[in-house]
Structure 1
């Protein structure tokens, strides 16, 4: 076999092993790594190890500092908020009617997520694929942009949900989203998608840091016609009562622990 190919295979395998150790929580945020310990742990040579670490640093999984060494990167909640904000502005407005084939693929993923939890890496990749499928016809540039945002959130999701049970409402939101697309009700699909993203952002960030000061998410929400009520110091008190500027008659939001859509109740109160 070509020696260059063998070297490439060793680098790819080492990269994947280290990535899984980080995503699975075996190597923790802030933990200092030494090449000697990693080489012994993975039974790999120094050359593929160094190259794999360079790849992981480029992907944001590790950081390196002169005279200090390599450290597992911390969980950046400010970056997470920005990623969710970008998705909120990009994904729901781009929703269009989807084909029967896409609906069938989404249904298979939704069923698998509910009935076959599987390995954490498989679950989270399937969840990402479920939400990327409706945008397949959006053009390659937009697909790459949205996919890249999810890829950067993947590590945070894996690390966070490895340590707690996945809430049932996550799957309920998936089902509500799929049902709206099946009925070609794009207004409802967009509303569910917005609720999904807000719930994920608020739930994950406030659970890790209840005193996190929000900024980009509130501004992105306002740009989408959504009122996200911040306290005076920029924090959020959950469950957050969120209001959409446009009422959606007949829409029943999925109940969850973090974001409550009070738009309909406000409209009912004013009509009374």
Structure 2
């Protein structure tokens, strides 16, 4: 490989990662709903990249479960069926408590104070997207102390694939359920402050299970998105 081609390959690689990160954020933010078509030329224009790094970025997101690539047909934002979503949430119920257990001993007072502030901010906001951003920040901050080889990446992928359904859940819950969600966030912080990791694990497990059970009562959530061919 010549110096010129090596440099070009590096640039394309960096551009692919940049586009993948930006497109991942856009999908998680709801800019591209489940089942919607992703047109490479539009993505290239939107993120200021050529078609080659866009194709590579889409392959990265396919590996994350966020994008479905179809030969000779293009790319779509992945969509879960009710059964698939149920399975992902059941997996999260089991693995996220473990991730919290691995993280908890490494969270200092400053980290716990930040979790408390995030919990309070979530309780005060009335904006769904703001709540989702704070909620993601809260849970990932609670897992930040874990140094894992596999588990952290697995949970990130599961979070990304279920983000549209967390958004739907947030729109579905009533005021009583909202209070429970906020109380659970505070209970997680209290358990971490007390060093009661088992209690924290139980709250996280129930927190995730509640979302799964409510979504199972609303199958229309899984048919309302744009359809793929």
TM exceeding 0.5: yes
| Greater RCO (CA < 8 Å, at least 6 residues apart) | 2
Aligned CA-pair RMSD: 3.6
- CA-to-partner distance for each residue in 1:223-260, whole Å, 9 max, x for gaps? xxxxxxxxxxxxxxxxxxxxxxxxxxxxxxxxxxxxxx
Distance 1:68 1:60, change over 3 A: same
Residue 71 of structure 1 aligns to a residue whose secondary structure is: strand
- Residue number in structure 1 paired with 2:214: 203
Structure of larger gyration radius: 1
Q: How many residues matched?
A: 206
- Residue number in structure 2 paired with 1:171: 182
TM-score, length of structure 2 as denominator length: 0.69
- Residue number in structure 2 paired with 1:74: 79
User: Shift in Å at residue 5 of structure 1?
Assistant: 3.5
User: Shift in Å at residue 175 of structure 1?
Assistant: 0.8
- Residue number in structure 1 paired with 2:148: 140
| Pairing of 1:242-261 with structure 2 (within 5 A) | none
Q: C-alpha separation between the residues in 1 aligned to 2:201 and 2:17?
A: 38
Structure 2 residue runs of 5 or longer lacking an equivalent are 223-229
Q: C-alpha separation between the residues in 2 aligned to 1:100 and 1:145?
A: 16
Distance 1:127 1:151, change over 3 A: farther
User: Shift in Å at residue 17 of structure 1?
Assistant: 2.4
Residue 92 of structure 2 corresponds to residue 87 of structure 1? yes
- CA-to-partner distance for each residue in 1:55-108, whole Å, 9 max, x for gaps? 112212221222322222113433332233233334547848944843541331
Higher helix share: 2
- Asked if 2 retains the 8 angstrom alpha-carbon contact of 1:124 and 1:158, the reply is no
Distance 1:187 1:36, change over 3 A: closer
Residue 49 of structure 2 corresponds to residue 38 of structure 1? no
- Residue number in structure 2 paired with 1:192: 203
| Pairing of 1:1-272 with structure 2 (within 5 A) | 2-92=7-97, 95=101, 98-99=104-105, 101-115=107-121, 122-133=133-144, 136=146, 140-141=148-149, 144-145=150-151, 147-157=153-163, 160-161=166-167, 164=170, 167-207=178-218, 209=220
Q: C-alpha separation between the residues in 1 aligned to 2:47 and 2:197?
A: 49
Q: C-alpha separation between the residues in 2 aligned to 1:96 and 1:8?
A: 33
TM-score, length of structure 1 as denominator length: 0.60
User: Shift in Å at residue 115 of structure 1?
Assistant: 2.2
Structure 1 residue runs of 5 or longer lacking an equivalent are 212-272
Residue 161 of structure 1 aligns to a residue whose secondary structure is: helix
Q: C-alpha separation between the residues in 1 aligned to 2:81 and 2:218?
A: 14
Residue 140 of structure 1 aligns to a residue whose secondary structure is: coil
Distance 1:96 1:63, change over 3 A: closer
User: Shift in Å at residue 163 of structure 1?
Assistant: 8.5
Distance 1:131 1:40, change over 3 A: same
